Amino acid sequence: MPRAHVLRWWLSPRAGTILLELKTPDGQQRTFQLDATTAEQLHIATGQDISDETYATIELTDRALHLIARLERFLAYRLRSSAEVAKRLRTLGASDDDIRTVLELLHRHGRLDDERFARAFVRDAIRLRMLSARAISSQLRERGIPEHLVHAAIATEYPSSDEEQRAREAAQRALRRNASRPPEQQQRRVRDALLRRGFSHDVVRRVLASLFDSSSSNQ
């Protein structure tokens, strides 16, 4: 059975990739795109015949690079988890093999890093939404982050000693929003705000006692 044959290759305008012109096993001439690392691993050289396995890898990599091009805006908007990228690829009709190859390429070139994503997610959840460690952990799991990376991100960015202080900051923000309400409504609304953010009943109870006892003593 005829094998694919490398006619020539040249640098692509797209950084880190090459274009590869092949005579395919069925006698057609086709141009494929490869990332430089894959090309080096396959030892691509002009004039060589290539195995069916290598040809399959070239086809798969070419499809993956075209899919990555369709993901550029999605990837540029914010950091993404591997699971988020895989979900988006399925909406584009990608096969399991395509998804696996895209993820490998993105990881290889530093464009996808679940550890980096998890740590950034924790920092943003603290700063922007004042969530508890429990709520953040749950949301990371929903985004497909492995358990060991969830634990590592929380341990690094949200030590347990910070939990009550974070709850107090969220309570003070909620209290300011409800400053015109009667004290009973203020306390109820602050409690509900803390519980929605995932803080435990024990933490909420201590924060409320501290906040409203100090408010009463200042009146």
Chain-centroid distance of CA 49 in Å reads 39
**Cβ-based neighbour number of residue 178 at 10 Å:** 16
CATH fold of 4-108, please? Arc Repressor Mutant, subunit A (1.10.10)
Assigned fold of 162-217? Arc Repressor Mutant, subunit A (1.10.10)
Q: Are 20 and 34 in contact (CB under 8 A)?
A: yes
Structure tokens at 55: 């040809």
- With a cut of 50, which residues of the chain have pLDDT below it? 217, 219
pLDDT tens for residues 103-140?
999 999 999 999 999 999 999 999 999 999 999 999 99
- The residues that bridge with 6 in the sheet, in sequence order, are 22
pLDDT for 2 equals 82
Return the structure tokens found at 169.
């900051």
| Closest alpha carbon to 174 in 212, 219, 217 | 212
Q: Can you tell me which residue has the tokens 């900051």?
A: 169
Q: Is 18 helix (H, G, I), strand (E, B) or coil?
A: strand
| Predicted local confidence at residue 214, as pLDDT | 59
pLDDT at 91: 97
pLDDT, position 79: 96
Phi, psi (deg, nearest 5) at residue 176: -60, -35
What's the predicted TM-score (pTM) here? 0.85
**Integer Cα distance of 168 and 213 in angstroms:** 13
- Are 137 and 97 in contact by the 8 Å Cβ rule? The answer is no
Neighbours of 201 (CB within 10 A): 10
- 208 contact partners, CB below 8 Å, separation of at least 6: 171, 187, 190, 191, 194
Query: For residue 102, what are the contacts with CB-CB under 8 A and spacing of at least 6?
Result: 64, 67, 68, 71, 85, 89, 94
**Helices 96-108 & 52-77, crossing angle to 10 degrees?**
70
Instruction: Look at residue 215 in the predicted model and tell me its pLDDT.
Output: 54
Distance (Å, whole) CA 124 – CA 154: 12
